[in-house]
Amino acid sequence: MTQAKRVGARSVAQIPTDLLEQINRGEAETANLTEWLAVDQVALLEHQLHLLGRSDYLPELLAQIRAQRKPSTHSTCSVIGRSLGQLTRQQGDKALLQELAAHPSDMLRCWAAYAQPSTSLQEALRYIYPFARDEHFGVREVAWFALRQQIIDELDEAIPALAHWARTDESEYIRRFASEATRPCGVWCAHSTRLKEQPELGLPILTPLRRDPSRYVQNSVGNWLNDASKTQPQFVERLCAAWLEEQDCPETRYITKRALRSLHK
């Protein structure tokens, strides 16, 4: 029998002390965003690097964490992950990233996602793929955050690659990644000037998803087009009308309603 997923605490104060201690030792996963934001990443890092025999990495990592101008859970996660990536490459320590990527703690897997090598886009996409389809929501979010800037910078190469994922991948998580990672504005991430000005560039990704059966994907596509409606409202109006004329099905109706919510208040 499959064990039911734990329901997360609604506030930090409601997280049981023993559970938070387990999370901060890397012995339990977070169950929602509230718990994810409550993780003491420094305590987790110190504990896990000691267990993994990499305590000598701590001085450099702690210095990078302290150097943040505006620290937050997400920025600290990024700093730790990218710093770990640099350290492991300098030391030729491929084993550590493999251990982090397979770790039971979602936060350690998040660090591993951010540790992806500064390589070609195709290699970066291959590296991020297992994180993009991770069962944990936080790891999936970090996966597209980790590649967001490279995708924006190399959009002409990224769109065909992600369109292939959108058309062919059986995982709703991967199809959603293709949409979410290319949103013109997105949330808590760099904007794409090109996609804000030319949202039609995203059609190779969006068109295969216009009738996607997954609500997870539908929400992302609707949000993508809602982003685009802020700068190119006529494009979004015409596209939604064309999709509904082609096939007026529940999936497309849901997507277009979400896409037009800012225009049809």
The helix (H) or strand (E) run that includes residue 169 is none
Domain with CATH 1.25.40.290 in the chain: 139-265
Q: Report the alpha-carbon distance of residue 190 to residue 148 in Å, rounded.
A: 8
DSSP assignment of 196-231, as one string? HH-GGGGHHHHGGGTT-S-HHHHHHHHHHHHHHHTT
pLDDT for res 1: 41
Of 108, 100, 96, nearest to 54 (Cα)?
96
What are φ and ψ of residue 112, in 5° steps?
Answer: -65, -35
Decide if 29 contacts 55 (C-beta within 8 A): no
> Letter for the amino acid at 202?
G
Decide if 134 contacts 160 (C-beta within 8 A): no
Q: Report the alpha-carbon distance of residue 167 to residue 58 in Å, rounded.
A: 43
Helical residues (DSSP H) of the chain, grouped into ranges: 17-25, 33-38, 41-51, 58-66, 73-91, 94-101, 106-114, 121-132, 137-153, 155-168, 172-180, 193-197, 203-206, 215-229, 233-246, 250-259
* Tokens coding 216: 């997870």
For residues 209, 255, 36 and 42, what is the CA-based torsion angle, rounded to 10 degrees? 60
* Fold exhibited by the domain 139-265: 1.25.40
How many of the other CB atoms lie within 10 Å of CB of 18? 9
pLDDT for res 160: 97
pLDDT in tens, the chain (265 residues): 444 577 888 999 999 999 999 999 999 999 999 999 999 999 999 999 999 999 999 999 999 999 998 889 999 999 999 999 999 999 999 899 999 999 999 999 999 999 987 789 999 999 999 999 999 999 999 999 999 999 999 999 999 999 999 999 999 999 999 999 999 987 777 889 999 999 999 999 999 999 999 999 999 999 999 999 999 999 999 999 999 999 999 999 999 999 999 998 7
pLDDT for res 265: 78
